[in-house]
Amino acid sequence: MNYFPLTPNDLPKALELLHNTPADQWKQRTIALYWIAHTLLTPFSIRTITNTTPQQIYDQAISFAQKNTPEQEAAAYMIARLLYRPDTEDQYQVFIKNIVATYKTADTANFQTSILIILAHLARSKSLPDHVLEIAESAFISNNVHMRKLAMKLTGRISATSDTLQLLFEGLRDVATVVRWSAAKGISRTAPPEIVPFILELFKENAVEPYTDLRSCSDALWQGALLCLSEICRKNKPDEAVIEELERVLPLALTFDIPKGAITVGGHVRDAACYLAWTLARSTKRVPLPIVHACITTACFDREINVRRAASAALQEIVGRQPDHVRHGIDIMTAADFVSVGRKSEAFGSVALEIGR
């Protein structure tokens, strides 16, 4: 979109392109919708640029947003850009006033998705009323993963209240990774740092013996909590009490592997743990040595290639930012580089032996 022409005179051209596009040319129609959205950034009143009124533009876009077509998301984005504008305040007020009823009476999930996209974009620059949260709560119980993700995104952009935080905490245990990550980013964006102790308590949920027997723990919840802590630590320096607790949690998370039927799961949890170790290297002066040692072990011996590489990246960040903290850190980082740990035979063999020496 950064390469679209952006002058006031381009708005009538973009509207004409959309109007004249044949029904079977969905790619061209999608481009036209994004071009219109881009030209709506102009600070001049729409009525002084084109004979098409804001209401006509809105009606045309909403017709595409209701269809099960590829340009549906582009139309939703264009509507959000249109409602941002100060000269469309009347359309915005009508839209927000009736939005809950519109969402509940929507004929298709696609139109409901469009409404969520519009609201999520609007929430970035406008203060939405409290009744919008009702839409997010309704979308969160949907079987559609994309809708649940958008519900978390919308909730995370609404001012923090007990209701929004409760919904975001529910999102941390969702079965889909994209929903958990969206919830984690929402909590880090809206909640104060004092929320961290409550997140740490999630690691004890359903544990037979906290920090010891994790067989009954939820891998989804552990990953969600780790992602949430990562996003918070990326933006705020954790205090000493939090670091001490993470010194107990992270080594366990880096070896998380629980049985489920005939298989074991935990690769996604270990990957999230590596991300948290990486953020700690950037936000603290000293990463506790037990976490460093766990990263070295994971980089050498984890069975998943992406986890070994993630642990290597975390280790490089720790050594690079805290070179005097890890003994022989440069040599260890050189041995366990991104390429070397990518091959299992080399990681288990020569890399581990080199670091052991």
Task: Determine the Cα–Cα distance for residues 312 and 307; give it in Å rounded to an integer.
Answer: 8
At residue 332, the pLDDT reads 86
Report pLDDT digits (tens) over 182-205: 999 999 998 888 899 999 999 988
Mean pLDDT of 229-251: 93
Its sign, for the CA torsion 214, 234, 192, 171, is negative
Report pLDDT digits (tens) over 75-130: 999 999 999 999 999 889 999 999 999 998 887 888 999 999 999 999 988 888 88
Report pLDDT digits (tens) over 32-72: 999 999 999 888 899 888 888 999 999 999 989 988 888 89
Task: Determine the Cα–Cα distance for residues 350 and 335; give it in Å rounded to an integer.
Answer: 9
Is 139 within 8 Å of 112 (Cβ atoms)? yes
At residue 1, the pLDDT reads 65
Task: Determine the Cα–Cα distance for residues 281 and 271; give it in Å rounded to an integer.
Answer: 16
At residue 208, the pLDDT reads 67
Mean pLDDT of 224-250: 93
Instruction: Please give the sequence-ordered ranges of beta strands (E in DSSP) within the chain, or none if there are none.
Output: 258-260, 263-265
DSSP assignment of 271-325, as one string?
Answer: HHHHHHHHHHHHH-S---HHHHHHHHHHHHH-S-HHHHHHHHHHHHHHHHH-TTT
Report pLDDT digits (tens) over 9-31: 889 999 999 988 888 898 999 99
Give me the residues paired with residue 213 across strands.
209
Task: Determine the Cα–Cα distance for residues 13 and 11; give it in Å rounded to an integer.
Answer: 5
Task: Determine the Cα–Cα distance for residues 193 and 233; give it in Å rounded to an integer.
Answer: 9
Task: Determine the Cα–Cα distance for residues 295 and 292; give it in Å rounded to an integer.
Answer: 5
At residue 247, the pLDDT reads 93
At residue 109, the pLDDT reads 87
Q: In CATH, which of 1.25.10, 1.20.120, 1.10.8, 1.10.150 is domain 192-357?
A: 1.25.10
At residue 202, the pLDDT reads 93
| Token pair for 240 | 């000493």
| Token pair for 139 | 């979308």
Global pTM reads 0.90
Give me the residues paired with residue 265 across strands.
258
